[in-house]
Structure 1
Amino acid sequence: MAFLSNAILALVVLATSVLLLPRLAGTLLGLVFRSAGWLIRRRTRSRREYVIARARLEEEEHRVPRPKSSTNSLARSQAEDEDWEKVDSSSGAKTVSSNDNGDGSKNEGTTPDDWDGIIGFFHPFCNAGGGGERVLWEAIRATQQRWPKAICAIYTGDHEVNKTTMLERVENRFNIHLHSPTIVLLYLTTRKYVVSSSYPYMTLLGQSLGSLVVAYDAFTLLVPDVFVDTMGYAFALALCKWLFPTVPTGAYVHYPTISTDMLSSLDDETGVQGINSGAGKGLKGTLKRRYWQLFAQLYGWVGRHVDVVMCNSSWTSAHIRKLWGTSKAIESTEEGTGSSSSPAVVFPPTAVSELQSTITVDAESERTRQPVILYIAQFRPEKNHPLVLRSFARFLQERNRNPVFADNPPPRLVLIGSVRHSSPDETHIYNLRLLAHELKIRDHTTFLCDASWPAVLSHLGTASVGVNGMWNEHFGICVVEYQAAGLICVTHDSGGPREDIVIDLGDGATGFRAETEEQFAAAFEAALALPVEEKIAMRLRARRSALRFTEEEFAKKWLAQVQKLVKASR
């Protein structure tokens, strides 16, 4: 009997140990991370004090009146300075009372613009000049106008540019004017660990683990009061929560690192679903599928550590809900609240107002439009420039059979995009030029690298058709720019363009959608062959549709979510 009692007791102890061991290990691991976080805070305290002191000194120097050639210019300079003292309603941040946070909540005894903490923006490639960078700088502008005393620290690996040069490029490329004194660039030395070329195999896992190294590098430079990732490095946000549990984290997700669409593309036989179409065959394909499935589970677990989640489109939001949330949340939630199971959809900012005020759409302007097909996209493989080049070549061959084009000048294809120097982008654009030569369309094709905003604006005002060939484009800022400028859109029938942008709002089509080379060529022909009246009508419908994606709308929704992080950090 005693032996049986001892055996039962031993089994109970063993079972209890087995149950408690994972929890105990988790607790010990948590203590290790928090201890490491405490040491990082302690070691970076002096740098934090220097950053704050330097920002305040630059602010004072900025406010010192400089000798001007006239009284009017001095008054104008002072007026511009005063703009940073207040919340600018034109940016989308509404004017609120002294105890209103702007989201309906109250903030006892403080004014809405008195928060003077540090918001860290994790964006290692902030000088890339793409749509993701426009989101970053618009977010910073909205944040500055809402909290003028806050410091915006950008973690970047762009060592080749200083702050002055960076802000000049932002103004030149995006026409975004920022307040220099409260912006700090913190230079990372480990950015190479998130470059895809560093991982020939298991790239997704390699980049994700590499982002932990880069994030640690960022925190050893400065621990912010609020940490926001604007590039898609969910693992960096999780590391922040492990090291600094009290630091609120936010994610603006442009594109899920992995999605169910990527998994389904492994079985695609058409070749239109991205660069991995049909790659699920054989032993290698089976291993790739299992690797992606396991990574999706890890990505979902990491994503659930984020406090506030914003997505740039309905397509992205649906995938993030499925990966980071629960099936119950997916079924019950209609509007995003900013949680991992219910992300807030915050459409990227587009220069809609500027484009519509600069470019007119009427019978007179239609006469100045040229038969130009415009593609604005970074020169990277995922943008699928070869599809557009081949489609354009097919269109040129087939247009000769259409009498509508008999007396018209030959159409041209203009490709505008940024190129990351000393990167695979340069090789990619070289190969695209070779392809244009092989397709015998070189004389009808123009490549413009790193074009300035005025140059982009000029092409938007004179082109007739705007194209986007990327499969599952997460949103498609360039497509909205096409619409706002009055171009007729021809986009890939997937992702954000299909879900949110090139849609019928009840008064008719706002563009064309296609998937294959043949469909794109047919869409080019259909768009350019439309009668003048129908062209103008479609352009005007597209411009009305673009009003959903203004900078003001972005600022309003961005601030509503960031307000939660600021409130949590107080």
Structure 2
Amino acid sequence: MLSMSKPITTVIALIVASFLVPKLTSYFVGYVLCSVGWYIRAKTSGRRELIISRARIEQEEWRSRHSGPSLGRSGEDEDWEKVDKLVLGFAGNGKPGEGEWEGIIGFFHPFCNAGGGGERVLWAAVKATQRRWPRAICAIYTGDHDVTKAAMLERVETRFNIELYPPNVVLLYLTTRKYLLGSTYPYLTLLAQSLGSLIVAYDAFNLLVPDIFIDTMGYAFTIAFSKFLFPLVPTGAYVHYPTISTDMLESLDDKTGLKGLNAGAGVGRKGYIKRWYWLAFARLYGWVGGKVDVAICNSSWTSGHIKAIWGPWRKKGDSKQPVVIFPPTAVSEIERSIEVNASTEQLRERTILYIAQFRPEKNHPLVLRAFARLLSENSKNPVSAAQSIPKLILIGSVRHSSPDETRVYNLRLLARELHISDHTTFLCDASWPAIISHLRTASVGTNAMWNEHFGISVVEYQAAGLISVVHNSGGPREDIVVDLGEGATGFRATTEEEFAAAFQGALALPKEEKVAMRARARESARRFTEEEFARRWIVEVEKLVMMAKPQASRRNVIRT
């Protein structure tokens, strides 16, 4: 009997150990990280008080120079009053209600000066936050060391026509942004960049521990890291594009070459390794996504993928389900600036406009080749040849000291090789007035990115009355260029041939049909206004503020 008891005891011990060791390890790691978080919070408390006091001083200086905190242009006050009335607990007209929250919201956006659609979302979110919580401080973690706050806010107003209240905007300069660059990692780029984001997040938290932490750029790993360091700090994520999606996994088997940069890459031994690596990363990405308190997606397409990958790791309940908040687009501003009717049709030129950052995923070569095909086919057609030759204008921001500049140079070379350079114009870092001018006179707007997560520029096309020709995938297909029951609002294409045919079809429409389609497109664009974004953004951030208030009260008790 004694000899039998030893194996039984050993088995029981192994079973108990198999359950306890992982839990004890998890508790130990959690305790260590919480201790690190406590140390960081204590170390940065002095900087926090300095930031708050400096913001209050700037507020007083601002009031002495202005009649009051101007949080928006007078032309849009009416629109914002509608937003104010729809927000529970808001006094209206930019004034806080009783017991207004005065904490710090940290926005993790290391490339906030890039000038793209993601940056428009960031600054519109900051503006909406300022309108709802006028005494809250919006701290932006950025790696743009060469830009002062004044220059940054001026660029935001010039590029996006978004005017902010400067005293409550703080830029916190990161020194580790290089760890986010894909060019730094020749292998295992997705994982390496995600792990690199932890280094940048650690850098950010050592600058300031916010009361609410929001990632607006897609680095979900920073959210999980924040939760481990500061379990009581509410977290939010605005997801523009999932780091990995089921479409990416499916693209490995694509033989057409049309599904992104990795189409057909799942072949052979390297393909097998890539598939295994992506599947493993997708599981890890889902786990970190489960740590986000409030998840926001920019489109139906993004939401579907986030639900598929994050869903199994998120707790049940409505507050844990990702919500869709379409990115803010200057629909109201464009409508005020550009008329769309039969009389303004004569101002339209035979111009195709492509507004997109000069990055590889935007697939500018596809547009150039389709445009070259259009010109070639038109030259063979007597009717088309008799008309004025169409023009192509490419407008986009360029991140200086980056591959973007080289990419523009290569695109210019491609235009020359295709013999279309005389009819193609490149405009880098164009101002908002310049963009408005081209939206007023162009006839067609295009977008060639496969699985564009949303497509802010496409909405701008619609608001300006342009006829859209977009890639038949992602947000443009599911949310924007759709028939709302009144008729088509544009064209969708996939291949070079289809884009060329769609360009020709859009330019050749009879005047009456052009005007009708432009009107339908403008009506469709009203679903994506800045005011609608602000209203829905405030509702979601309100959840984080309610979570943060008890923690703020607890810290105040500890101080006293």
* TM-score interval (norm. to shorter): over 0.9
**By how many angstroms is 1:267 displaced?**
1.1
The letter for the 2-side match of 1:7 is P
The letter for the 2-side match of 1:438 is E
SS at match of 1:221: coil
Long gaps (5+) in structure 2: 91-95, 550-560
Partner residue of 1:171?
A: 157
Partner residue of 1:286?
A: 272
Cα distance change, pair 507–300 in 1 and its aligned pair in 2 (3 A):
same
**CA–CA distance in structure 2, aligned partners of residues 45 and 476 of structure 1:** 40
Are 2:430 and 1:440 aligned? no
1:83-482 maps to which residues of 2 (within 5 A)? 90-91=79-80, 93-95=83-85, 100-101=88-89, 111=97, 114-326=100-312, 337-339=318-320, 342-482=321-461
The letter for the 2-side match of 1:6 is K
Cα distance change, pair 193–304 in 1 and its aligned pair in 2 (3 A):
same
TM-score normalised by L of structure 2? 0.94
The letter for the 1-side match of 2:84 is K
Cα distance change, pair 475–62 in 1 and its aligned pair in 2 (3 A):
same
**CA–CA distance in structure 1, aligned partners of residues 458 and 72 of structure 2:** 32
Cα distance change, pair 283–434 in 1 and its aligned pair in 2 (3 A):
same
**By how many angstroms is 1:231 displaced?**
0.2
Moved over 2 A (4+): 79-84, 87-97, 110-113, 326-329, 400-407
**CA–CA distance in structure 2, aligned partners of residues 535 and 185 of structure 1:** 46
SS at match of 2:470: strand
**By how many angstroms is 1:499 displaced?**
0.4
**CA–CA distance in structure 2, aligned partners of residues 428 and 449 of structure 1:** 12
**CA–CA distance in structure 1, aligned partners of residues 353 and 97 of structure 2:** 47
**By how many angstroms is 1:285 displaced?**
1.2
**By how many angstroms is 1:79 displaced?**
5.1
Partner residue of 2:60?
A: 60
Partner residue of 1:72?
A: none
**CA–CA distance in structure 1, aligned partners of residues 280 and 433 of structure 2:** 46
**By how many angstroms is 1:88 displaced?**
7.0
**By how many angstroms is 1:357 displaced?**
1.4
CA contact (8 A) 1:151 1:183 kept: yes
SS at match of 1:30: helix
**By how many angstroms is 1:501 displaced?**
0.2
Q: Which is further off, 276-285 or 25-34?
A: 276-285
Partner residue of 1:106?
A: none
Cα distance change, pair 197–513 in 1 and its aligned pair in 2 (3 A):
same
Q: Which is further off, 299-308 or 356-365?
A: 356-365
CA contact (8 A) 1:112 1:147 kept: no
CA contact (8 A) 2:286 2:312 kept: no
Partner residue of 1:68?
A: none
SS at match of 1:178: coil
SS at match of 1:496: helix
Partner residue of 1:78?
A: 67
Partner residue of 1:569?
A: 548
SS at match of 1:95: helix
Partner residue of 1:542?
A: 521
**By how many angstroms is 1:401 displaced?**
3.8
Cα distance change, pair 517–551 in 1 and its aligned pair in 2 (3 A):
same
CA contact (8 A) 1:493 1:513 kept: yes
The letter for the 2-side match of 1:23 is K
1:191-236 CA distance string (max 9 Å, x none):
0000111011111011100000000000000000000000000000
Partner residue of 2:556?
A: none
The letter for the 2-side match of 1:567 is M
**CA–CA distance in structure 2, aligned partners of residues 355 and 83 of structure 1:** 16
**CA–CA distance in structure 1, aligned partners of residues 302 and 101 of structure 2:** 31
1:377-436 CA distance string (max 9 Å, x none):
000000000000000000111123445424321000000000000001111111101100
**CA–CA distance in structure 2, aligned partners of residues 155 and 56 of structure 1:** 20
**By how many angstroms is 1:531 displaced?**
0.2
1:133-171 CA distance string (max 9 Å, x none):
000000000000100000000000000000000000000
SS at match of 2:386: coil
1:13-58 CA distance string (max 9 Å, x none):
2210111110110000000000000000010010001000100010
CA contact (8 A) 2:286 2:313 kept: no
Partner residue of 1:12?
A: 12
1:252-276 CA distance string (max 9 Å, x none):
0000000010111111111111111
1:465-502 CA distance string (max 9 Å, x none):
00000000000000000000000000000000000000
**CA–CA distance in structure 2, aligned partners of residues 83 and 354 of structure 1:** 13
CA contact (8 A) 2:36 2:229 kept: yes
1:306-358 CA distance string (max 9 Å, x none):
000000000000000000003999xx99xxx452xx21000000000111111
**CA–CA distance in structure 1, aligned partners of residues 89 and 26 of structure 2:** 37
SS at match of 1:360: coil
CA contact (8 A) 2:194 2:219 kept: yes
| Identity fraction in percent | 65
Superposed CA RMSD in Å reads 2.0
**By how many angstroms is 1:113 displaced?**
6.9
CA contact (8 A) 1:503 1:509 kept: yes
The letter for the 2-side match of 1:133 is E
**CA–CA distance in structure 2, aligned partners of residues 83 and 518 of structure 1:** 45
**CA–CA distance in structure 1, aligned partners of residues 27 and 464 of structure 2:** 56
**CA–CA distance in structure 1, aligned partners of residues 464 and 98 of structure 2:** 36
Cα distance change, pair 16–169 in 1 and its aligned pair in 2 (3 A):
same
TM-score normalised by L of structure 1? 0.92
Partner residue of 1:105?
A: none
Cα distance change, pair 312–318 in 1 and its aligned pair in 2 (3 A):
same
**CA–CA distance in structure 1, aligned partners of residues 444 and 99 of structure 2:** 44
